[in-house]
Structure 1
Amino acid sequence: MSLHCNFSITNRCNVNGINNGVIIIPVILGFSSVVLIIIVIWKTCKMKQERERAPIIQLQDKPRSLNRLGNEYETVTSTTERILAARDPSLKRWEIPPENVTANLEYMQSGSYGPIYTASILPMDGSGEVKAVLKALHDNASSKELMDFLDLLKFHVTVCNHESIVKPLGCRAEKLPLYLFLEYVSGGSLLHCLWQFREGEVRPGEGVFSLTEKSVYSIAKQVACGLDYLTTKHKLIHGDVAARNILIHEDLTVKLAGLSLAFDVYKTGTLSSHKAAQVPIKWLAPERIIKRPITEKSDTWSFGILIYEIVTLGSPPYPEFQPLEIFPKLQRDYRMPRPANCSNVLYDLMKHCWQWKPYDRPSWSELINKLDSLMNNADGVKLLQTADDLDLNQYKQAAGVF
Structure 2
Amino acid sequence: MTLHCNFSISNRCNVNGINNGIIIIPVILGISSVVLITIIIWKTCKMKQQRERAPVILLQDKSEPVRQLEIENGSLSTATERMLATKDPSLKQWEISPEHIVGNLEYMQSGSYGPMYMANILSLDGSGEVKAVFKSLHDNASAKELSDYLDLLKFHTKICNHESIVKLLGCQTERMPLYLLLEFVNGGNLLHSLWKSRETEAQAGGGELKLTERDVYSIAKQVACGLEYLTTKHHLIHGDVAARNLLIHDNLTVKLTGLSLAFDVYKTRTLSSHKAAQVPIKWLAPERIMKLPITEKSDTWSFGILAYEIITLGSPPYPELQPLEVFPKLQRNYRMSKPSNSSNALYDLMKHCWQWKAYDRPSWSELINKLNSWMNTADKVELLKVADDLDLDQYKQAAGVF
If the length of structure 2 is used for normalisation, what is the TM-score? 0.94
Which residue in the other structure is 1:235 paired with? 235
Q: Contact between 2:201 and 2:207, CA under 8 Å: does it hold in 1?
A: no
Which residue in the other structure is 1:266 paired with? 266
Separation in 2 of the partners of 1:237 and 1:61? 19
Q: Contact between 1:115 and 1:137, CA under 8 Å: does it hold in 2?
A: yes
Could you tell me which amino acid in structure 1 is paired with residue 259 of structure 2? L
Which residue in the other structure is 1:177 paired with? 177
Q: Which aligned pairs between 1:17-36 and structure 2 lie closer than 5 A?
A: 18-36=18-36
Q: Contact between 1:207 and 1:251, CA under 8 Å: does it hold in 2?
A: no
Which residue in the other structure is 2:166 paired with? 166
Separation in 1 of the partners of 2:276 and 2:114? 22
Please give the secondary structure, in 2, of the residue aligned with 1:340. Answer: coil
Could you tell me which amino acid in structure 2 is paired with residue 41 of structure 1? I
Separation in 2 of the partners of 1:372 and 1:216? 11
Tell me how far 1:131 sits from its aligned partner. 1.1
Could you tell me which amino acid in structure 1 is paired with residue 91 of structure 2? L
**Structure 1 ranges of 4+ moved more than 6 A:** 1-4, 203-207
Q: Which aligned pairs between 1:322-333 and structure 2 lie closer than 5 A?
A: 322-333=322-333
Moved more, 209-218 or 21-30: 21-30
Please give the secondary structure, in 2, of the residue aligned with 1:35. Answer: helix
Please give the secondary structure, in 2, of the residue aligned with 1:188. Answer: coil
Q: Contact between 2:120 and 2:131, CA under 8 Å: does it hold in 1?
A: yes
Residues 249/2 of structure 1: CA separation in 2 closer, same or farther (3 Å cut): closer
Tell me how far 1:77 sits from its aligned partner. 4.9
Q: Which aligned pairs between 1:350-369 and structure 2 lie closer than 5 A?
A: 350-369=350-369
Which residue in the other structure is 1:115 paired with? 115
**Partner deviation per Cα, 1:60-111 (whole Å, 9 max, x = no partner):** 11234477xxxx4446755211111121111111111122221222221111
Separation in 2 of the partners of 1:203 and 1:356? 40
Question: Across the two proteins, how many residue pairs are aligned to each other?
Answer: 398
Q: Contact between 1:208 and 1:251, CA under 8 Å: does it hold in 2?
A: no
Tell me how far 1:12 sits from its aligned partner. 3.8
Q: Contact between 2:197 and 2:208, CA under 8 Å: does it hold in 1?
A: no
Which residue in the other structure is 2:386 paired with? 386
Which residue in the other structure is 1:143 paired with? 143
What stretches of structure 1 of length at least 5 have no aligned partner?
none
Tell me how far 1:21 sits from its aligned partner. 2.6
Tell me how far 1:20 sits from its aligned partner. 2.9
What stretches of structure 2 of length at least 5 have no aligned partner?
none
Residues 145/16 of structure 1: CA separation in 2 closer, same or farther (3 Å cut): same
Tell me how far 1:17 sits from its aligned partner. 5.2
Check if 1:220 corresponds to 2:215. no
Which residue in the other structure is 1:90 paired with? 90
Please give the secondary structure, in 2, of the residue aligned with 1:105. Answer: strand
Could you tell me which amino acid in structure 1 is paired with residue 177 of structure 2? P
Separation in 2 of the partners of 1:84 and 1:118? 24
Please give the secondary structure, in 2, of the residue aligned with 1:103. Answer: strand
Which residue in the other structure is 1:309 paired with? 309
Could you tell me which amino acid in structure 2 is paired with residue 151 of structure 1? D
Separation in 1 of the partners of 2:22 and 2:354? 47
Which residue in the other structure is 1:335 paired with? 335
Tell me how far 1:124 sits from its aligned partner. 2.2
Separation in 2 of the partners of 1:26 and 1:363? 38
Separation in 1 of the partners of 2:95 and 2:108? 23
Which residue in the other structure is 2:209 paired with? 209
**Partner deviation per Cα, 1:204-261 (whole Å, 9 max, x = no partner):** 9999612100100110111111111111111111110000000000110110000000
Tell me how far 1:202 sits from its aligned partner. 5.4
Tell me how far 1:350 sits from its aligned partner. 1.1
Q: Contact between 1:87 and 1:150, CA under 8 Å: does it hold in 2?
A: yes
Tell me how far 1:36 sits from its aligned partner. 1.1
Q: Contact between 1:208 and 1:249, CA under 8 Å: does it hold in 2?
A: no
Could you tell me which amino acid in structure 2 is paired with residue 159 of structure 1? I
Please give the secondary structure, in 1, of the residue aligned with 2:310. Answer: helix
If the length of structure 1 is used for normalisation, what is the TM-score? 0.94
**Partner deviation per Cα, 1:20-49 (whole Å, 9 max, x = no partner):** 333222222211111111011001001011
Separation in 2 of the partners of 1:58 and 1:224? 23
Q: Which aligned pairs between 1:248-259 and structure 2 lie closer than 5 A?
A: 248-259=248-259
Residues 298/7 of structure 1: CA separation in 2 closer, same or farther (3 Å cut): same
Q: Contact between 1:204 and 1:210, CA under 8 Å: does it hold in 2?
A: no
Tell me how far 1:3 sits from its aligned partner. 6.2
Q: Which aligned pairs between 1:289-308 and structure 2 lie closer than 5 A?
A: 289-308=289-308
Moved more, 241-250 or 77-86: 77-86
Check if 1:278 corresponds to 2:283. no
Which residue in the other structure is 1:56 paired with? 56
Check if 1:188 corresponds to 2:188. yes
Could you tell me which amino acid in structure 1 is paired with residue 356 of structure 2? W
Q: Which aligned pairs between 1:43-82 and structure 2 lie closer than 5 A?
A: 43-65=43-65, 72-74=68-70, 77=75, 79-82=79-82
Please give the secondary structure, in 1, of the residue aligned with 2:107. Answer: strand
Percentage of pairs with the same residue: 77
Separation in 2 of the partners of 1:28 and 1:94? 65
Q: Which aligned pairs between 1:121-136 and structure 2 lie closer than 5 A?
A: 121-136=121-136
**CA-based RMSD:** 2.1
Q: Contact between 1:190 and 1:244, CA under 8 Å: does it hold in 2?
A: yes
